[in-house]
Structure 1
Amino acid sequence: MYDYIIVGAGSAGCVLAARLSEDEDVRVLLVEAGPPDDAREIHVPAALAKLFQTKYDWRYLSECEPGLDGRRRVLPRGRMLGGSSSMNAMVYIRGNRRDYDAWAAAGAEQWGWDDVLPYFLRAEDFQGPPSPWHGTGGPLTVSEGRSRHPLMAAYVAAAQEAGHPLTADFNGPEQDGVGHYHLTQRDGLRCSTAVGYLRPALTRPNLDVLTGAQCTRVLFDGDRATGVELDRGGEPLRRRAEREVVLAAGAYNSPQLLMLSGIGPAGELAAHGITARVDLPVGENLQDHPHVGLTFLTDTPSLLTAESPDNVRQLESHGTGPLTSNVGEVGGFHRTLDGLEAPDIQVHATPVMFHEEGLGAVTDHAFMVGAALLTPTSRGKVSLRSAIPSAQPRILHRYLATEEDRATMVRAVRLLLDITDRPSLRKHRRADFRHPASLTDEGLLDFVRRELHTLYHPAGSCAIGPVVDPRLRVHGVRGLRVVDASVMPTVVRGNTNAPTIMIAEKAADLIRDLPAPV
């Protein structure tokens, strides 16, 4: 018997396990379907793409996307301790204050910017100069990158030549501009939530961690969640929770688990032989940041040669060098139309060939410059493929379903073309590798449809309002919450890892009925 059972040891789950187990009078169980985070590639920043399509990845595919001419898209998600914080690009971005104020205005009480900022600060251990915009002493190390690749410096210079201002801190007063990203790294290595939060908590006798155990459904007594059913290597297990079950399995798996447990659209559940316990729009409102990139061959040495013996020794002895690169070292936030209240496009640039959704072979020196749509109006859906828990869910993002999204992505590609044609970057271009064949609006849209893929930021499928209340309690039942990116009413403007950690920090206080930090 446990007081709390947390399903999913990812960006949110590790935070919750660490915070809830601070109370020595409660027992906490953290359940993870994947293995421990013990592969070397997990902790070497530049090796992140090597984790795709391995046992550390859920290996999800989208359904055939109508807006992409029927193409399916690879949807990597971390399946290990640390979850996607153990395989992401480590970019630390909180989003824009307008995102959170919009949540609050739409009914997510106590989720406005002034409400959430203290939790960002509490989580952070910032390694830069003192700043009112950053916290120190928290579990999550945030630092400047230790790899400053010359191709990335050239991108920043080219963007300035195109009229975009230099920004020292995307988490400061305003996002707009270009610069180097802050990273969740410690001494040149990845600082996932497994590293920052979970490891220090593992010495506590009141915290148990169970890896290799996939949750198959939530157990109920009447309308109260009382535990979980698990499958561990073919062995069925049951674990009971005296106080609460918390789903922290992410924007694809949390809705799947709710539906398998009888919480979701009643008609759809009935089609799979599942009796609806509560009829809720679980799985609806799915959002993501769709991304499209231009790739150029170059004579400037790239990260293609990063794994040299000298660079390995440099990483191991000093925590520096090319292997500390998070790949997406630089970028920026931009408004593609006059009059927008905040950026609608985010750019990531990489000093290495990045194509075929990150799965393409790196065969030559190259660099990529890509843009992501920050405020998509298209909405997708997560639904059940089968009542068999091991079956992958159906994931349809409906990328580019609206004219607004299509027009914004065309403007985004024009922005990239403008920057990459400036002198500082033009001199590094040997040849085009992934580039539009036509510069008409129709030609650019064809390019977008062909090349667009996820930026790995799914959110919104168990949103505050339709599925959970502002305290993240699932409507219609007791003792069950969802705590991950799926509760976002709208996806934030930026990388979603830091906001997910914030959500878990705040949820830990909501669960314990503690006041917000000052």
Structure 2
Amino acid sequence: NMQNQNMNLVLSTDAKPRLKWTPELHQRFVEAVNQLGGADKATPKSLMRVMGIHGLTLYHLKSHLQAYFSLFLKYRLGKSQQSENCTDIKQEAESLQLQMEVQRKLHEQIERHLQLRIEAQGKYLQTVLKKAQETLSGYGSSSVGVELAKAELTQLVSMVNNGCPSSSFSELTETGTSSLKYVERKQMRGSMESSLTSSESSGRKEEKQPMHKHGGDPEKKRSSSPISDGICVEQPISKRTPTQRDKSGQHLRKSGLLDTIDLNRKYQNDIDSGPKAWNSYYNKLFLVMGFSFYLLLLFVDLALCSSWLQGRTLPHMTSDVNEVSGKSFDYIVVGGGTAGCPLAATLSEKFSVLLVERGSSPYGNPLVLETKNYGLSLLQTDKYTSVAQSFISNDGVPNLRGRVLGGSSAINGGFYSRASEDFVQKVGWDKEAVMGAYQWVESRIVFKPELTPWQYVAEFSFLEAGIFPYNGFSLEHIEGTKVGGSVFDEWGRRHTSADLLEAGNPNNITVLLNATVKNVIFREKGNRNETIARGIRFIKSDGNSSQTYDAYLNQAENSCSWGDVILAAGALGSPQILLLSGIGPQKHIKNRLKGVGKGMKDNPGIALLADSKPKNFPPEPPKVVGIADHFKIIIEAGILPISLNATVMPIAAKLASPESEGKLELNSTDPRENPSVTFNYLAKEKDWARCVKLGQLLERVVRSESIAFFLGLERKNELMSTEDELRKLCKKNVRTFYHYHGGCSVGSVVDKDYRVYGVKGLRVVDGSTFLESPGTNPMATLLMLGRYQGIKILEDRN
């Protein structure tokens, strides 16, 4: 009591007593905040513990902390702007001084620098051309395109050595243009990207070789944090290719030619004063640029022919069912989605693999691969061919599933975050092997994102709403506000699970596109009448024909050494295929397995739209997440298109571990049709209570000062006050987060090694085996699961 009197603590007698914050009490509060590491680290509970004042409650501290944090953000932003202004003034002064110095020395140095650049460019061209000649010399001469390329390279080397006469260059350019005509237009459009990716991946493999030469497992030598400074440990494809080329050549192009052109534009008077010298300079400059352009054309020509010259880094992909029909493989993976691609890549290290995907290739599709088109592929759906297939659950909630190589990783928001340690322990996975599998994925297709203004606003609004602590960038599933990983690189390109196929042995993988598996083929053996998977039966996905085709597993003398048919068709596809194959709960089904199609769950969520009118921001995926209420509530914000020319700004939250569950049943014997699925959103009372808390948190975020300031709106302090109103909000606005799972759960349909009970040679490895959705988003764990189970299968075979 004496302590409270000294601090002038004044409380009312209300149910939620008000508190008068005296200067002494506020100073005590500030000291406690600083002791805990600042306003972005302190929490109401930790403050109450540190301050130790009787009568002070979490209610008082929470409201005061939010107000203090808002002031803290404004102060920090103000200081940042002041610092930026000072920096800009200093930079302008330095720039003026530098321009004066450059102007004084320009004529003295330009000829000397130009000569050095031309010599360096010549050496660079010689080195590259000789390497290209050596590469071509290793292949046969049956191809007309290869012969022309050899002749052009020889002529170009001679020209470089003799001083690069312009007339010869003109002749050579005409020859190069004619050689390009040998490549069909269709091949140029379809294989350009995959061929260039092949070249880039070759460079990446050379980069990895030294790690293997030193012995040991290269994955174990990686650090526990595989991402730093905005790029992967192994650089992303779009950045990796330039760094493999001659660095002096890259420096020449960037700081040499471009800087010189920039200086020419700035100092036009100096150009006019010495026309003869500058005419000579331009002749030499454009000659060098001309050779660089021709070299680029030549490399494109060689890249288009790379399938003839050096095989494919990406595996062979085909939509011709006749190439696969009747053939046998060591393993058959059904579903080239988030888990299927890394699984196939891993198995291909030692065995032949058939990967069957019901959709098309993502390569060459800008709606899939470019960040600026995020969400547009979800607006253009049809029955058989679109990359996203729409369906409506029996709950009346619209939903989507991936129908493209790469699966949902090719159409989702690309947010990457691992599962929690508790989840890994609960499932029974090996912790070290799981981390190794995560890092294998992250080193290839995961990036540290750069936040856009809207994502910064989302980050601040989560903190204003009390989602503490602030964890910065992290791939771990930890409570608070954090920035997660992304499969979008800094150049705005999406990297799907299909990119992981490059990490396997491309000679051992055959990818069959636009083919839908109808059922698994079985055979009976022995007196015990055992059921053994023998292969698959599939049809074309285009809907024009119902003709069936078969592919088989390789047979061996010892049946125990056979490979497996592995279903990785997703939470809807895998139980659907099992039911179509005669494996399920119905009494008339031969292989009765009660759990097939049971335990279907989807994470229910609600979303509120930030009023962006009359502004129309470009689409962008979420990069920041808030994890609250002991991991039960997850909230994120993005910008989604609703048409080609309009977007909305939803702030959405989901229940992480719902108790309500439903079921999946066949709707048709045609595997191209969606099955009938019911999720029973919010059927359990506990889910209703959590949804009310979710609504309260979502409102605090939407009505934060950060969002109001960003959109230029007046902040509204009033919130929904009754539980009934929030229940109506949940019931009316319940939506999916596309994280549905279940239907082939571990312990019910498959064992801990993901083998289907009662059937030999048949496994399920995808989200249908989960009892709950891991992490903030399941994509990271599904990618990991494909790699993890692939390694386990290889170890078992050994």
Q: Aligned with 2:536: secondary structure?
A: strand
Instruction: Return the match for 1:503 from 779, 785, 790.
Output: 785
Q: Aligned with 1:167: secondary structure?
A: strand
The residue that corresponds to 2:635 in the other structure is 347
Q: Which has the higher helix share?
A: 2
Structure 1 stretch displaced more, 421-430 or 30-39 = 421-430
* Matched letter for residue 404 of structure 2: M
Q: Distance in 2 between matches of 1:460 and 1:115?
A: 24
The residue that corresponds to 2:623 in the other structure is 329
* Matched letter for residue 373 of structure 2: A
The residue that corresponds to 2:610 in the other structure is 296
Alignment deviations for residues 489-510 of structure 1 (CA, whole Å, 9 cap, x no partner): 3222320111111111111022
Identity among equivalent pairs (%): 29
The answer to whether the aligner puts 1:3 opposite 2:330 as a matched pair is yes
Q: Distance in 1 between matches of 2:647 and 2:352?
A: 52
The answer to whether the aligner puts 1:240 opposite 2:562 as a matched pair is no
1:330 CA drift (Å): 1.8
Q: 1:144-155 counterparts in 2 under 5 A?
A: 144-146=448-450, 148-155=451-458
* Matched letter for residue 482 of structure 2: G
The answer to whether the aligner puts 1:227 opposite 2:545 as a matched pair is no
The answer to whether the aligner puts 1:142 opposite 2:446 as a matched pair is yes
Contact (CA 8 Å) 2:455, 2:622: kept in 1 or not? no
* Matched letter for residue 231 of structure 1: I
1:149 CA drift (Å): 2.2
Relative to the length of structure 1, the TM-score reads: 0.80
Q: 1:358-507 counterparts in 2 under 5 A?
A: 360-361=642-643, 366-429=648-711, 439-507=721-789
Q: Distance in 2 between matches of 1:402 and 1:208?
A: 45
Contact (CA 8 Å) 2:372, 2:492: kept in 1 or not? no
The answer to whether the aligner puts 1:62 opposite 2:356 as a matched pair is no
The residue that corresponds to 1:32 in the other structure is 357
Instruction: Return the match for 2:495 from 187, 191, 200.
Output: 191
Distance 1:366 1:454, change over 3 A: closer
Contact (CA 8 Å) 1:6, 1:31: kept in 2 or not? yes
1:100 CA drift (Å): 2.2
The answer to whether the aligner puts 1:119 opposite 2:437 as a matched pair is yes
Structure 1 stretch displaced more, 50-59 or 218-227 = 50-59
Alignment deviations for residues 269-308 of structure 1 (CA, whole Å, 9 cap, x no partner): x3xxxx322323101111222221111213695534x6xx
1:445 CA drift (Å): 1.5
Distance 1:515 1:165, change over 3 A: farther
The residue that corresponds to 2:254 in the other structure is none
Distance 1:257 1:365, change over 3 A: closer
* Matched letter for residue 179 of structure 1: K
Distance 1:417 1:497, change over 3 A: same
The residue that corresponds to 2:106 in the other structure is none
1:152 CA drift (Å): 2.1
Q: Aligned with 1:101: secondary structure?
A: helix
Alignment deviations for residues 192-248 of structure 1 (CA, whole Å, 9 cap, x no partner): 1112x12454x7222111101100000000200000000025231100013210000
The residue that corresponds to 2:110 in the other structure is none
The answer to whether the aligner puts 1:177 opposite 2:480 as a matched pair is yes
Q: Aligned with 1:303: secondary structure?
A: coil
The residue that corresponds to 1:15 in the other structure is 342
Structure 1 stretch displaced more, 377-386 or 158-167 = 158-167
Q: Distance in 2 between matches of 1:365 and 1:284?
A: 37
Q: Aligned with 2:473: secondary structure?
A: coil
Q: Distance in 2 between matches of 1:431 and 1:219?
A: 62
1:449 CA drift (Å): 1.6
Contact (CA 8 Å) 1:297, 1:365: kept in 2 or not? no
Contact (CA 8 Å) 2:447, 2:488: kept in 1 or not? yes
Q: Distance in 2 between matches of 1:345 and 1:362?
A: 32
Structure 1 stretch displaced more, 363-372 or 203-212 = 363-372
Distance 1:328 1:114, change over 3 A: same
Contact (CA 8 Å) 1:375, 1:493: kept in 2 or not? no
The residue that corresponds to 1:313 in the other structure is none
Contact (CA 8 Å) 1:384, 1:393: kept in 2 or not? yes
Distance 1:430 1:381, change over 3 A: farther
Contact (CA 8 Å) 1:8, 1:248: kept in 2 or not? yes
Q: Distance in 2 between matches of 1:377 and 1:87?
A: 27
Q: Distance in 1 between matches of 2:426 and 2:503?
A: 35
- Larger of the two Rg values belongs to structure: 2
Q: Distance in 2 between matches of 1:48 and 1:81?
A: 17
The answer to whether the aligner puts 1:88 opposite 2:370 as a matched pair is no
Q: Distance in 1 between matches of 2:690 and 2:430?
A: 27
Contact (CA 8 Å) 1:45, 1:89: kept in 2 or not? no
The answer to whether the aligner puts 1:262 opposite 2:582 as a matched pair is yes
The answer to whether the aligner puts 1:44 opposite 2:370 as a matched pair is yes
* Matched letter for residue 733 of structure 2: E
The residue that corresponds to 1:159 in the other structure is 462
1:75 CA drift (Å): 1.7
> For structure 2, which runs of at least 5 residues remain unmatched after alignment?
1-327, 525-530, 555-562
Q: Distance in 2 between matches of 1:397 and 1:214?
A: 25
**Quick one: higher RCO (CA 8 Å, sep 6+), 1 or 2?**
1
Alignment deviations for residues 2-51 of structure 1 (CA, whole Å, 9 cap, x no partner): 1111100001111111111111xx22111011111131110012423211
Q: Aligned with 1:30: secondary structure?
A: strand
Q: 1:92-107 counterparts in 2 under 5 A?
A: 92-104=416-428
Q: Distance in 2 between matches of 1:209 and 1:194?
A: 10
Instruction: Return the match for 2:516 from 211, 214, 221.
Output: 214
Q: Distance in 1 between matches of 2:597 and 2:346?
A: 28
1:424 CA drift (Å): 1.8
Q: Distance in 1 between matches of 2:474 and 2:602?
A: 20
Q: Distance in 2 between matches of 1:199 and 1:118?
A: 18
Distance 1:28 1:293, change over 3 A: same
The residue that corresponds to 2:596 in the other structure is 282
Distance 1:9 1:379, change over 3 A: same
Structure 1 stretch displaced more, 391-400 or 113-122 = 113-122
* Matched letter for residue 328 of structure 1: P
Q: How many equivalent pairs are there?
A: 442
Q: Distance in 2 between matches of 1:381 and 1:419?
A: 34
Relative to the length of structure 2, the TM-score reads: 0.53
Contact (CA 8 Å) 2:610, 2:702: kept in 1 or not? no
Distance 1:167 1:27, change over 3 A: same
Q: Which has the higher strand share?
A: 1
Alignment deviations for residues 133-152 of structure 1 (CA, whole Å, 9 cap, x no partner): xxxxxx3x221223x22222
The residue that corresponds to 1:204 in the other structure is 506
* Matched letter for residue 660 of structure 2: S
Q: Aligned with 1:449: secondary structure?
A: helix
* Matched letter for residue 51 of structure 1: S
Q: Distance in 2 between matches of 1:117 and 1:181?
A: 17
* Matched letter for residue 534 of structure 2: T
Q: Distance in 2 between matches of 1:100 and 1:383?
A: 30
Q: Distance in 2 between matches of 1:427 and 1:239?
A: 60
Structure 1 stretch displaced more, 227-236 or 111-120 = 111-120
1:429 CA drift (Å): 4.6
Contact (CA 8 Å) 1:278, 1:476: kept in 2 or not? no
1:185 CA drift (Å): 2.5
CA RMSD, 1 decimal? 2.4
* Matched letter for residue 117 of structure 1: M
